[in-house]
Structure formats: C-alpha cells, structure tokens
A and B are shown apart, each in its own frame.
Chain A
Amino acid sequence: MSARPVHRTPLEAARGLESPPLSAEEAQGVLRESLGMAEADHAEAILEAQDHSLTRFANNEIHQNVTARDHALTLRVIVGRRAGVATTHRLDSSALRQLADRALAIARLSPEDPDLPEPAPSVAVPPLEAFEPETAGSTPESRAEAVGSVLHAARKAGLNTAGALSTTSSLLAVANRRGLFVSQPETYSNFTCTVRSQNSSGWVDRHRRDVRALEVASLGRTAIEKAERSRDPQPVEPGRYTVILEPAAVAELVAFLASLGLGAQAELEGRSFMAGRMGQSITGERVTLTDDPFDPRAFGRPFDYEGTPRRRVVLVERGIARAVVHDRRTAKKTGVESTGHACAPPATEGPLPYSLVLSGGDKSLEELIASTERGILVTRFWYCRVVDPKKTVVTGMTRDGTFLIERGKLVRGLRNLRFNESVLEVLRRADGWGRELEPTVFDYAWNCVVAPALRVPEFQFTGVSPF
C-alpha cells in the first residue's frame, strides 16, 4: 500500500473544512506502510498531524498572523535488544523507506539495552470526545473579527492590548507490529490577552476545545478591568503575606511538581521529592492531586505515545504520596504495569503526567478575597524556575495584575514581587480552596494543569520590581 500523505491543503483547511488534518484511515495507511518497511523484530510508529493557526495582536492592531500544517512520523525499530529511532516530516514512500533504513542503522549501532520493553499489546482504548468542528473550521477572518472586538474596546478605553487567538486541529496515531492501532483527533483553542495602561497591566488566558467557549470579548473586558484597577501600582516591602493565588498562578506552581518528581524515572533515579516517601505525608491534608485524562477540562488523551491506554492515577491523596506515573520501560524495571504516560521520543525525562487535576474546595474567588484581612492577590506568575529540586523550591515573579487586599477588598495595584517558595509547603499551608477549577495549558503539546484558586498564609516574597 502506498502512503497517502495529506490530501487536504492548508488553503482548504482555511476555507473551513471542519475535520482533522488527517483521517484515522489515512493515518493507518501511512503507519502500516512505514511498519512494513522495517526489517526488524519489532517496530512501533507514531504519526502526529497538525493544522495550527494563530492571530496575534499588539499595540491595538494585528501584527502577526500565521498558519502552518505539519506532520511528523517517528519510527522505532527493535533488533534483538537494540532500538533505533528516527523521525521524518515527509510522508511519501521514498521518505518512509529512508526513515526505516535510518532507524534500522541506528538500532544496529546501538548497544544492547537490558531494560528495553516490547511494544505495547493491542487493547481497546476508551473513546474520548476531543474534537470540535467549529475549532477546526476557524478561519483567518473569524479569528480577526473576534480579536477585533478586543482591539476596539481597548482603544476606546485609552489602553494598549496585546495577545493571541489560536486554534489547533490535530490527529495523533500510534501503531505497532503487534497489531496495535489507536488514533485520536483533537482540537484546542486559546485566547490570551494583556491590556496595559502607562503603568499597569491586566491579563486573561483561557483554553478550550471549542473556540466558541473562549468568549473572547468578555475575556477582553476582564483584562481591561484589571489594567484599570491596577493603575499607579505601589511597592510593598518584601516579606511574608497572605496571598490569594488565581488558578493560573496555582497551575504554574503545580506544573513544577510534574517535572520534579511525579514520573517514575525521577523516582527511580532518586531525584524525585516522592522518592522513598510513598505512603507518607508530603504536603497538606487538603491536597489531592490526580492525573486524569478523562476530566473534560484537562485536555487528556486516551492513550500515550506507546499506544497504552492512559489510566487515571491518584498521585497525592489527602497529602499522602500515593503513586508516580509509568511508561513501559519504568513499568518493566519496577515490575508494575504501565499507566499510559509515555512521552514522545526521545522522552529523556521518562513518563510524565500531562492532565493534572488539583482538587478544589467550596469558596468562590470573591469569597477568598472577602475573607482576607490583609493580603495580596496574584493573577499569574512568570518565569518560574527551580531553586531546590528536592524541596520543590521555586522562584518567580508576579505579573499583570498584583493587588493589595485590605479588609476583604482590592484596594490598589502593587508593583511586581519576586517569590521563593516550596510548592509542597505552599499547598500544605493553603487554608482557602476555590471551587472553580480552570485549566492552564503550558503549550499546545497538551501539558495541562486544572487548578482552583488558593489562599495561602505566609507566602514568601523576597524582592520587588520597579514596576
């Protein structure tokens, strides 16, 4: 069978064809041909196809506006205990032939790998509704019109806005010589917007499968309101303050836990804060953290990059370390089953959670603010980096809407502050939990954290910016 790369073109996509960039049948054809060319004991192939469009604006006008169609085929072949991996972005038959030859050559040159797992067996994957035709059919004109409403509102308010509206339609498919074939079409859309006055800014960011659910104009008004409200920000001295962290700020912190220790490889290497602490209390009793690909807010996928069905994994339960996520390699090493969390090759960090959900509470954001005598509201964090991996200490800045709270009310904007804090200790100290959970996607590779707002006493700020 000859590979049929991509029948539709970017032009057609832009006209509003409301289907994935590649059908499951087309993907299966490409994968079958690729697997058939590999003269190896085992072979596994991953195909990702994507249409991505983004309309970007700054200074109240559209300044960049792009669309790209790409597809990537990764072939992993196994000869004895040796594996070779190669990737191509071309899907014609000659490219597939070259891909197979290259992967095989790499496998033959590689040393034997005693931990090499076999490809996954063929099993049923539960269906997941992740594709919204309206998002796939978004056009340059519809994106521009949606953004235009925010540009107009900001200009009318005498403010300056910048941001982006993006839509992605994609298909992920995995197949192997053991008969496995799984595929998943999905869509993703994001609206992010910063509104600035001369000395303040406000920010909004929303991620949805359905572009209509972004409610762009309404979000724009929220950003405008934040920018207005934070005008003429004043400094406060560094020190410990009660903070109300909005969901995006909480998500930023929680995302660090994933890379610092919620995957089995980090635990096996002793790098994880979970290492040697399974069954023990590592954070507060209110903290339950789950990787849940089936939570409709979490942009989950029903299978991983090895084709293994993804399981819901409770990582931290009421503050107790319960589990890390596995791929087939770490599962084999530790004598358990893969939880379906293999990352895309080369997966140097091993398996990782990608649909984290932090359980919420019963308070609205307004109630959290109203119950705070004196504190600081943080809209978002920025440029967070690890300071001490074992203690989960992270530093970063506040950005785009930091407010002083007095007697339960926002009284004025504040200059941005630097923090140094342990994520696990922040969660332990949290004494107010929001009921509205909001997803934050850190890039369009589906790394998502769904989080509530939190109130945290004694949050440590160590510095202040001049703005």
Chain B
Amino acid sequence: MDEILDRALNAAQLAGASYADARLVESRSQFLEVKNRQVSALQESGTLGLGVRVLVDGAWGFAASADPSAAEAERCAALAARIARASAKFRLAPVTLSPLAPVVARWETPIEVDPFTVPLADKIALLVEATGLMEREAAVKVAQGNMQFWEDVKRFASTEGARIEQRIVNSGAGLTATAVGEDDLQVRSYPNSFGGQYESSGYELVRRLDLPGHAAETAAMAVALLTAPVCPAGVTTILLDGSQVSLQLHESCGHPTELDRALGHEANYAGTSFLTTDQLGRLRYGSDLVNIVTDATTPRGLGSFGFDDEGVPAQRADLVRKGRFSGYLTSRETAPMVGLASNGTMRAESWAHIPLVRMTNVNLEPGTWKLADLIADTADGIHMITNRSWSIDDKRYNFQFGTEVGYEIKNGKRGRLLKNCTYTGITPEFWNRCDAVCDASDWEIWGTPNCGKGQPSQTMRTAQGASSVRFRDVQVGVGARS
C-alpha cells in the first residue's frame, strides 16, 4: 500500500505538483433492516480505491480510481495534474495552504465489540424480536428495526511527508413504528428518527440501546399520536429535547460556520451563510447561555477521528462563546483567507471524493438545569421531542422544524400529547431567545449519518451533542390548511 501512495506522490511531483496528497481508502459496511419480523434488507458492501489531489500552477486537480494499482496511481496523478492545469487558466489567485507539521501516526476508533465480528444471526434475531413486539399494536402497519455498521481504513500521505493510517468504526441502530389511521400517518422512533442513534462505537451501542426493551412503548406512542390533537398555532415557549436540539445545531450553527460556505464556495448548491467573515467575533448569535464548539475528539461522536483528510490533527475550537459568534470550521485552503490556521475539519465521503469542510461534532455545552426543574419552571409551553421534518434557507436564517411528539406544558406540568408539532424562526433571533440549557445528565452526542454537501454530492457522518433547551416566544403550529 505504501508503494502505491509513493508512486502517486512521485508521479504528481514529476508532473509539476507543488503539493500533492494521496488517500488509499478501504471501506466496508453492513446494513440490516427488518420490517414486521421479515428481513427486508441485508446487504454488505466493500470498496477499495485511491484518490490523488494535486496543486499545479496554484490550482487543484483530483483524480480517483477503484483500481488502486501502482500503475493506476501514476495515471491518476498525471490526470490530476492535467486537470489542475486546465483549472489554473481560470484562477484569479493561487491556492495557499496554511502551514502544517507533517506527522507519521496511526489512530483507531476506540471500540469494545467489533460490530463485524458479531454473528449476523444474532443481529437479525434482535431486530425480529423488537419488530415483533411493535407489531402487537394493530394500528402499526410498519414495525421497522435497522442496524448499520461502517469501517473505513484510511491511508494518507502527502508530499510534505505526512503518513497517517486510521481505522474508523461507526455503528447505528434504531426502531421506527409507523401507525396508519383513516386519513393520518404517524411515526414514532427510538431512540431517534431517521434510523436511530449513530456513534463512533462498536456493537456495544446496540446492546446499550436495548431495542426490544423499548419496542412496545415506541409502538404505543405511534398509535396514541393518531388520536392526539394537532399542535396549536401561536407564539409560545418551547422546550426541545436533546436530539431535536442536535439537528437544530446541525442546521443553524454547524452549516453556517463552515468557512467554505461563508466564502461562497458552495453558493450554487448547499448555499452560503449569514455568518459572513465581517461578523466574526462581533455578531451576537445567541444568548449568554449559548456556548457551541466543534470537537472532533468527543468520545462516541460520529464525527470523531484522529486526523482529518488533509492530515490535520483532530481538535476542539469555539464556534459560539457566551452567545458571540467566535469561529469557523476551516481547512488548510480556507483558513488563511481569514488569517487563521486549519482546525482540521476536511473530510471526504470516500476515496472517490475530494475532502470538504465538514462538521465534526458540533456540541452545545451543557448548562445547569435539570429537565424536571425546567418543566416545573415553565408556566405555558410545548415540549417537543424527536425530529420529524427539517428545512432551512440557503443562508441558514429561516428554518422550520417538526417533531414526532409534543406535550403541552401548563403551570409547570406536562399535559396533553400533541401531534404534528412544528416551530419556525430566524436563527440568531431564535438562539437569542434561549433562556435555559439542561445539564450534563441530560446531554447526549447524537449522530447524523446523512449530511449532504458538495458537487458531486457527498454524504458525511457528523454528530451534535446537546441537552434539552428552552426557547421563549417561538412561533409554533405552522402549516397548510388541509
């Protein structure tokens, strides 16, 4: 493998590259889905390939191949150089990289149980049992359980002398009950929507989740939602559970603090950002209680790693400190444009893709409230739990989220179950209305396995850590006349 990387880098330099890096990535994944006690998907996938990125005449070129031989490595390097030369004719200024001390290192996700060693029969049996328990509710038409496991073995080398090998293991599992009524459909998930919880963990995650132990409650809630009243429209106080705050962070803080977005690199597809560079250190993003960091070292975080795909060490940096916009997610190319050094957030979906600025783990630091005390302290509001729908504009200002479950809060007590809960707002106005954040006992690092960005589109696994949060004066119950 080292020879292939060497051949790629040597060929790139011979072709005129001032800088080059090569990534040899071997990935495998396993996906299981059981619906109503029947296996509806059971698939394993493996891929091995090489991506070569070069800087020639101040411009980037990239070529990748699923046939990582030494000869193919040389061809990819030459092709990447040719592409870079074509790009260079249409550059206004040469690419400059922030300095980096090259390292030789190895890193592995700490796991207890390798998920690829657990017998398939055991995994299937667990999902069959859990979906069988959910099926006992007659109105549940689809009782679904799933597991997903990934392993990426990445070898990175650069012309600056870096040599890094990483083994990253991610696991995920969850349940979904879909109840169908006369003219309604309600979904309840455990422990989170869109497939459940995802972590940089091994099979110990699946054991910890205890899917069969939560199946009956999940199904019963889906059925209860069919007859629950619809979330009323108005302006009120909302409490969001940690998993919903996690997605709120992802969409309204993670994406707008990507420096490539702020600089316009994603203007045609993912969009730009209201957090423009002139606002750095000045804009009041949220209330004093809002402290948000990017932290690629968070234990169990789906966005955790040892080094990013430019060889920059994993690190923690402020994005929002005491409510003030304090930092960006950066890369070696973008950071110098605002006088900074990379904080190590460049990742590629696979060997076939270039690395982009991506969220690692974007975490809201815990506050001081116990959840029970926060509910007791709320005179009138809605407690919204587990995301069901999410939408935000291309500068990340105007958002609308929906949750699977809501509860009225009246005089400090949780009341009626509500369905079709939605809330909407403008990002900085919303975070400035945050007046309480729950403590570490309520905090969890929630994985998002499907973050999309880039052209060609790439999917990335990220995470956001959060506890429950209270927001005042929020518009709820947004929707269409039916």
Interface on A for B, CB 8 Å cutoff? 5-6, 9-11, 14, 52, 54-72, 84-90, 102, 105-106, 109-111, 113-115, 139-141, 143-144, 147-148, 151, 160, 162-164, 166, 192-194, 196, 201, 203, 269-271, 345-348, 382-391, 393, 395-397, 399-400, 416, 418, 420-422, 425, 443-444, 460, 462-467
8 A Cβ contacts from B111-149 to A = 119-121, 124, 128, 141-142
Please, which residues of chain B bring their CB within 8 A of the CB of A60?
Answer: 92
Contact A396 B391 (CB under 8 A): yes
- Please state if B353 and A68 are interface contacts (CB–CB under 8 Å): yes
Mask, B18-56, CB within 8 Å of A = 1, is 000000000000010100001111111111110100000
Can you name the residue of chain B whose Cβ is closest to the Cβ of A203?
B268
> Is B400 within 8 A of A110, CB to CB?
no
Q: Which residues of A contact B10 (CB under 8 A)?
A: none
Docked complex Cα distance between A332 and B89 (Å)? 57
Residue among B31, B142, B353, B393 with max Cβ neighbours from chain A (10 Å) = B393
Q: How would residues 251 to 293 of chain B score, 1 for a CB under 8 Å from any chain A CB and 0 otherwise?
A: 0000000000001111111010010000000000000000000
User: Nearest Cβ distance between residue B251 and chain A, in whole angstroms?
Assistant: 9
> Does B420 sit within 8 A of A, measured CB to CB?
yes
B354 touches A418 (CB 8 A): no
A418 touches B400 (CB 8 A): yes
**In whole angstroms, how far apart are the Cα atoms of A270 and B420 in the complex?**
19
Q: Assess whether A86 is in contact with B43, with CB atoms less than 8 Å apart.
A: yes
Query: Which B residue's beta carbon lies closest to that of A426?
Result: B480
Q: Are B92 and A111 in contact (CB under 8 A)?
A: no
Q: Mark B320-343, 1 if CB is under 8 A from A, else 0.
A: 000000000000000000000000
Complex CA distance for A26 and B40, rounded to whole angstroms: 32
Could you say which of B87, B89, B124, B422 has the most chain A C-beta atoms within 10 Å of its C-beta? B87
B134-170 interface code vs A (CB 8 A; 1 in, 0 out): 0000000110000000000000000000000000000
Measured between beta carbons, the chain B residues less than 8 angstroms from A166 are 455-456
Of A160, A196, A203, A395, which contacts B400 at CB under 8 A? A395
Contact of B402 among A102, A105, A387 (CB under 8 A): A387
| Contact A87 B86, CB 8 Å, known A113-B38, A166-B455, A391-B482 | no
- Whether A162 contacts B267 by the Cβ 8 Å rule is yes
Tell me the residues in window 383-426 of chain B with beta carbons closer than 8 Å to chain A beta carbons: 389-395, 397-398, 400, 402, 420, 422, 424, 426
B393 touches which of A61, A192, A382 (Cβ 8 Å): A382
Q: Could you jot down 11 A-B contacts, CB within 8 Å?
A: A52-B456, A63-B265, A67-B79, A86-B44, A88-B47, A89-B47, A109-B121, A148-B89, A164-B269, A346-B31, A420-B400
Please tell me which stretch of B180-188, B238-246, B438-446 contacts chain A, meaning at least 4 of its Cβ atoms lie within 8 angstroms of it. B180-188
Q: Chain B: how many interface residues by the 8 Å CB criterion?
A: 86
Say yes or no: B83 contacts A389, CB within 8 Å: no
B91 near A61 (CB under 8 angstroms)?
yes
Given A69-B66, A148-B89, are A399 and B456 neighbors across the interface (CB < 8 Å)?
no
Q: Is the CB of B60 within 8 A of A65?
A: yes
Q: State A199–B178 Cα separation when bound (angstroms).
A: 44
Q: Are A383 and B391 in contact (CB under 8 A)?
A: yes
In contact, A416 and B141 (Cβ under 8 angstroms) = no
The winner among A11, A102, A203 for most chain B CB atoms within 10 A is: A11
Task: Compute how far the CA of A68 lies from the CA of B185 in the bound complex, rounded to whole angstroms.
Answer: 42
CA distance A60 to B264 in the complex (A): 10
Whether B391 contacts A395 by the Cβ 8 Å rule is yes
Question: What secondary structure prevails in chain B residues at the interface with A?
Answer: mixed
Would you call A84 and B42 a contact (CB within 8 A)? yes
Cα distance A416–B394 when bound, in Å? 10
Q: Of residues 73 to 118 in B, which have CB atoms within 8 Å of A's CB atoms?
A: 75-76, 78-79, 82-84, 86-87, 89-93
Residue among B61, B67, B354, B420 with max Cβ neighbours from chain A (10 Å): B67
Which of A62, A141, A420 has its CB near the most chain B CB atoms (within 10 A)? A62
Residues of A within 8 A of B72 (CB): 9
Complex Cα–Cα for A421 and B49 (A): 44
B86 engages A141 (CB within 8 Å)? yes
Does A58 contact B266, Cβ atoms closer than 8 Å? yes
* B264 and A67 within 8 A (CB): no
Shortest distance between the CB of B204 and any CB in chain A (Å): 22
Question: Assuming the A-B contacts A58-B265, A390-B183, A399-B394, are A85 and B60 also in contact, with contact meaning beta carbons closer than 8 angstroms in the complex?
Answer: no
Q: A70 to B49, Cβ gap below 8 A? A: yes
Is B478 in the interface zone, CB < 8 Å from A? yes
The CA of A393 and the CA of B456, in the complex, are separated in Å by 29
B263–A87 CB distance below 8 A: no
Q: Does B64 touch A at the CB level, under 8 Å?
A: yes
The residue on A at minimum CB distance from B452 is: A443
Known: A66-B354, A346-B41. A11 touches B480 (CB 8 A): no
Residue B59 at the chain A interface, CB threshold 8 Å? yes
Cα distance, A10 to B71, chains bound together (Å):
12
| Among A67, A87, A420, contact of B480 (Cβ-Cβ < 8 Å) | A420
Q: Which of A69, A109, A194, A387 contacts B65 (CB 8 A)?
A: A69
In the complex, A395 Cα to B92 Cα: how many Å?
39
Quote the shortest CB–CB distance from B312 to chain A (angstroms): 19
With contacts A58-B267, A63-B60, A89-B46 known, is A269 near B479, CB below 8 A?
no
A43 CB to nearest chain B CB (Å) = 15
The docked-state distance in angstroms from the alpha carbon of A387 to that of B92 is 44
Cβ B266 vs Cβ A388 within 8 A: no
